[in-house]
């Protein structure tokens, strides 16, 4: 296994905290402030640096590692996020389940801004992004592994989110197909209509390759999505704007936070052996898992 260099202002505290998190949360900067006893941990991986320091702390009675997907200062556009480093670093710290929180557009008129969606399928329309750890040029890879991706999201994670939403009285659309586009631009009206015809119900820019990289690392992966706008082909108007997305995300962030915290409390403790067996069975992956 390739070595990892962790750097923190207090090595003793940083290493102790890094060994404990069981759940990783990937999202915007509106989440890490929720953690108790938070300790920043910098992780260098064989795939370069992560988007930013990982903050390890406690939330809802669980040890959590939070990672800002786009960097604390939002420096990484969706097609430049270091996805491979991010997922690798989380697993190296002990994470076995990941909750991915993101803003999405709606491709259905009835799913307006503020709607929370728990997707169960992905339609990948990205390009040019490194989508795998099967990379002979890395020096880590010893071949290729074809992992199943028929159901990209964790069944246990989705069930936990559904239980949490019901118990907390949080309205949640319990299924949906998320189409992932490259960005950073938004869709044309023709593209939006094409995605609708293909069966997509929401649209975003970051779930791929996050979901498949998590699968290759035998991590349970659950997406929690907040609708901020209707996509261009859904209704007549000027189309979605960046300002609109930011405004709606800020207005509805407390609801997404509440769902995330409630889901954390409901997540079962993941068995590393079971997750590994689910992905690889008796066939070893062509690289050593961190």
Of 69, 82, 92, 7, nearest to 41 by C-alpha is: 7
223 vs 117: CA distance, rounded Å: 9
CB 200 within 8 A of CB 142: no
Strands 62-68 and 54-59: antiparallel
139: tokens are 């020096």
Name the residue among 193, 196, 70 with its Cα closest to residue 123. Answer: 196
Which residues have a Cβ under 8 Å from the Cβ of 81 and sit 6 or more positions away? 51, 69, 70, 206
- From the list 135, 229, 273, 288, the catalytic residue is 229
53 is catalytic: no
CA angle 154, 157, 161 (to 5 degrees): 140
In whole angstroms, what is the distance from residue 119 CA to residue 161 CA?
11
Name 187's bridge partners: none
Residues in contact with 284: Cβ distance below 8 Å, sequence separation at least 6, in sequence order: none
Q: Which of 141, 151, 231, 288 is catalytic?
A: 231
Residue 135 annotated among the catalytic residues of the structure: no
Query: So which residues are the catalytic ones?
Result: 229, 231
């Amino acid at each position: 296994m390739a070595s990892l260099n962790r750097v923190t202002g207090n090595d003793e505290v940083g290493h102790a905290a890094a060994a404990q998190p069981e759940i990783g949360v990937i999202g915007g900067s509106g989440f890490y402030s929720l953690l108790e006893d938070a300790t920043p941990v910098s992780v260098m991986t064989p795939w370069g640096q992560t988007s930013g320091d990982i903050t390890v702390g406690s939330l809802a009675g669980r040890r959590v590692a939070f990672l800002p997907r786009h960097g604390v200062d939002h420096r990484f556009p969706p097609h430049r996020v270091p996805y491979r480093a991010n997922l690798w670093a989380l697993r190296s710290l002990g994470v076995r389940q990941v909750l991915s929180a993101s803003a999405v557009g709606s491709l259905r008129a009835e799913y307006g801004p503020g709607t929370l969606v728990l997707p169960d399928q992905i339609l990948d329309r990205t390009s040019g992004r490194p989508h795998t750890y099967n990379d002979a040029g890395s020096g880590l890879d010893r071949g290729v592994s074809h992992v199943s991706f028929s159901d990209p999201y964790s069944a246990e994670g989705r069930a936990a989110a559904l239980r949490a939403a019901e118990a907390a009285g949080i309205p949640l659309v319990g299924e949906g197909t998320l189409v992932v586009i490259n960005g950073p631009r938004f869709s044309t009206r023709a593209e939006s209509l094409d995605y609708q015809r293909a069966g997509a119900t929401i649209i975003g820019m970051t779930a791929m390759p996050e979901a498949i990289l998590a699968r290759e690392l035998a991590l349970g992966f659950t997406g929690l999505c907040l609708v901020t706008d209707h996509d261009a082909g859904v209704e007549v108007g000027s189309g979605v704007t960046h300002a609109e997305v930011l405004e709606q995300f800020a207005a509805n962030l407390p609801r997404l936070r509440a769902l995330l915290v409630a889901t954390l409390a409901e997540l079962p403790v993941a068995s590393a052996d079971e997750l590994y067996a689910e992905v690889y069975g008796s066939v070893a992956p062509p690289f050593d898992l961190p």
